[in-house]
Amino acid sequence: MPPAKRKATHQLTKQHNRDLVLKTIFENETISRAEIARITKLTRTTVSDVVAGLLSGGLVKEVGFGSSIGGKPSILLSLEADSRYLIGLNLAQNKFIGAVVNLRGQIKETAEIPVPDGDGQQALKSVYEILDKLVKTNWKPLVGIGVGAPGLINTRQGIVVNAVNLNWQDLPLARLLHERYDLPVSVLNDSQATAIGEFVYGDHNSDGNLIVVNVRHGIGAGILINGRIFQGDGGGAGEIGHVLAQEDGLLCRCGRRGCLETIASAQAVLQRAQSLSSVSEFPTLDAIETRFLANDPIARKTVLEAGHSLGRSLGSLVGALNIRKIVLAGDMTCFGQPWLDSVQQAMTRAALGRMAQETELEIGKLDYAACILGASAHLLLDGYSLLFGSEN
């Protein structure tokens, strides 16, 4: 084989081995070289070589001795969580929130800014403003920016295809941010980012498949299959909020009628409560929460009916995918167990008994941070090259 190709192949193998070792270290609190060799099926020599590189790069540290059966005790390795930092952005809340996170997903510093109303240019400026602030902090080196944005996203091209609330259409966000900050950038749908965040950091004990449903102003899901986010052919996988749930239902912001969002989202609950009572009685979701806890009949009715509609939709997902763990995230989770029960009950009624019974439904643990953590973790999903900067 020609020298150039041989070199390329050799380089690829090296990267592959390094990623494999690093992934194994990521996935364990502490681990010995021998254990890494056993798990990765690499030779001990290869593992030692790779680890030497990681130690000298500061990504990994030796943290003590483990027990060993006979022979000398083995040295334990651990990820140096604060050797690199990532920025994660959540653009799907009622304010933009950004954070610097370390390699273990610990948030070191956050920044937030109100969302400008429907002004696309201003929204982009706000993104710059929040990032300008975060890149100037002392958390260094920064190795990438991950963005969770609402709407339909083309992640491969880094384009926000359509985000109604921000008034962005075909915005090449990844390119703009890369040009401004000279860092790798990943852009994905906020519900997909939330799903990755819950999967990686939410401690949900999933084998690799997980559905996370984000129920807030709108409704979106993120679906992990074999440990990877599934985006579908057009990036829109998880867009369950705009599936028809009620014939001739209310008008949705997408222009059609009866979408799931119009009956099961936080916005739908607010509007329904207001229409059954008055805006002054239920000015905000917080007001509904307060009244819900006080057993107000209108608050309970609207919230539990919304849960029921959501559950029925989840029944379709269970039937189609037979993924046994579904995590609910977003504002509506503030209604806790009673709401969760209504979702569960309707879901069980809507899917084949056996499959529904095996499905665990739970509330996410990370709140708005799931999106930030997931967006930043997504930067590392295809390998860890960016942790190594120019040396690669």
Residues forming the site for a second copy (CB under 8 A): 1, 5, 9, 41, 43-45, 152, 162, 207, 209, 221, 223, 225, 230-240, 242-244, 254-256, 312-313, 315-317, 319-325, 349-355, 358
Q: Of the two residues 2 and 297, which places its CB atom closer to a second copy in the complex?
A: 2
Q: Of the two residues 144 and 218, which places its CB atom closer to a second copy in the complex?
A: 218
Q: Of the two residues 98 and 241, which places its CB atom closer to a second copy in the complex?
A: 241
Strand spans (E) along the chain:
31-32, 60-66, 74-79, 85-90, 95-102, 107-114, 142-149, 152-154, 159-163, 168-171, 185-189, 210-215, 219-225, 228-230, 325-329, 360-363
Euclidean distance between CA atoms 312 and 346, whole angstroms: 5
Identify the bridge partners of residue 32 per DSSP, sorted by sequence position.
Answer: 76
Give the DSSP H or E segment for 302.
helix 297-321
Question: In the bound complex, what is the minimum distance in angstroms from residue 139's beta carbon to a second copy?
Answer: 36
Single-letter amino acid, residue 309: S
Q: Left (φ > 0), alpha (ψ -120 to 50) or beta: where does 186 sit?
A: beta
Q: Of the two residues 18 and 312, which places its CB atom closer to a second copy in the complex?
A: 312
Q: Which two tokens stand for residue 322?
A: 């037979």
Question: In the bound complex, what is the minimum distance in angstroms from residue 328's beta carbon to a second copy?
Answer: 16
Q: Of the two residues 142 and 161, which places its CB atom closer to a second copy in the complex?
A: 161
Question: In the bound complex, what is the minimum distance in angstroms from residue 194's beta carbon to a second copy?
Answer: 16
Q: Left (φ > 0), alpha (ψ -120 to 50) or beta: where does 67 sit?
A: beta
Question: In the bound complex, what is the minimum distance in angstroms from residue 326's beta carbon to a second copy?
Answer: 11
Question: In the bound complex, what is the minimum distance in angstroms from residue 320's beta carbon to a second copy?
Answer: 6
Euclidean distance between CA atoms 217 and 253, whole angstroms: 11
Question: In the bound complex, what is the minimum distance in angstroms from residue 126's beta carbon to a second copy?
Answer: 26
Q: Of the two residues 64 and 232, which places its CB atom closer to a second copy in the complex?
A: 232
